[in-house]
């Protein structure tokens, strides 16, 4: 919401994003600097207006929008890996509804946009494994997600969880290696 509001008010590119996470450069002329300072103050005001009181304590030490956004990113980035996993699960559970492929394509595009917006390097073996688990393990994955057990999930930890689950059901399916599971998932 913050980013969208800043973009709508033409404040995002001007004062909030810099080159490779470096603070945006100030203009050199006095007139442009005055305009830039005004936009920078407006952007900071928008950011502080959108966050809760608890979160505002973390950004009040900063006086510019760029630094406040960097702090917010730092506070919330730890959830991005979980967010990607949740989005991938959502992607794999999509179904064609009302025989409308355009609606499905729009949903897929929206989810992919959200995944890309996290700026997280995708764990391809994990994604492939998640896809291979559907629909057989969909309820198990949803329960892991609901219980918060996917927060720090990686390919190897998910393999271990699946193996533990299978053992608890008395199945003998212990993989020899992670690579073997990747090969099985690709099949």
pLDDT value at position 180? 55
Query: What is the predicted pLDDT for the residue at 92?
Result: 77
Q: Which of 77, 106, 128 is the last residue of a domain?
A: 77
Look at residue 74 in the predicted model and tell me its pLDDT: 75
Quote the pLDDT of residue 164: 84
- Are 22 and 110 members of one domain? no
Same domain flag for 172 and 89: yes
Same structural domain, 88 and 173: yes
In the prediction, which pLDDT does 136 show?
A: 76
* Shared-domain flag, residues 109 and 171: yes
- Quote the number of domains for the chain: 2
Is 174 in the same domain as 95? Answer: yes
Verify that 44 and 89 share a domain, yes or no: no
pLDDT at 176: 52
Host domain of residue 46:
2-77
pLDDT in tens, the chain (187 residues): 888 888 888 888 766 665 555 677 778 888 888 888 888 888 888 888 888 888 888 888 888 888 888 888 777 765 556 677 778 778 877 777 777 888 888 888 888 888 777 777 777 777 777 777 777 777 787 787 777 777 667 788 888 888 888 888 776 554 555 555 555 555 5
70 shares its domain with 109 = no
Whether pTM exceeds 0.75: no
String of DSSP letters for the chain: -HHHHHHHTT-IIIII--GGGSPPPPPSSHHHHHHHHHHHHHHHHHHHHHS-HHHHHHHTT--SHHHHHHHHHHHHGGGHHHHHHHHHHHHHT----TT-HHHHHHHHHHHHHHHHHTTPPP-HHHHHHHHHHTTTTHHHHHHHHHTTTTTT--HHHHHHHHHHHHHHTT-----S-HHHHHHHHH-
């Amino acid at each position: 919401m913050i980013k969208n509001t800043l973009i709508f008010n033409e404040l995002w590119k001007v004062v909030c994003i810099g080159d490779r996470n470096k603070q945006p450069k100030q203009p050199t002329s006095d007139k442009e600097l005055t305009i830039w300072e005004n936009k920078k103050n407006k952007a900071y005001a928008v950011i502080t207006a959108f966050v809760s009181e608890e979160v505002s304590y973390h950004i009040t030490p900063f006086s510019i929008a760029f630094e406040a956004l960097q702090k917010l990113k730092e506070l919330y980035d730890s959830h991005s890996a979980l967010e990607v996993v949740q989005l991938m699960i959502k992607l794999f559970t999509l179904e064609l509804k009302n025989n409308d492929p355009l609606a499905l394509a729009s949903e897929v595009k929206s989810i992919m946009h959200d995944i890309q917006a996290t700026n997280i390097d995708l764990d391809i073996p994990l994604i492939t494994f998640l896809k291979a688990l559907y629909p057989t393990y969909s309820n198990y994955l949803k329960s892991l997600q609901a219980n918060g057990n996917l927060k720090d999930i990686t390919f190897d930890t998910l393999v271990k969880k699946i193996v533990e689950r299978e053992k608890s059901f008395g199945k003998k399916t212990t993989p020899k290696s992670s690579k073997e599971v990747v090969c099985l998932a690709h099949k």
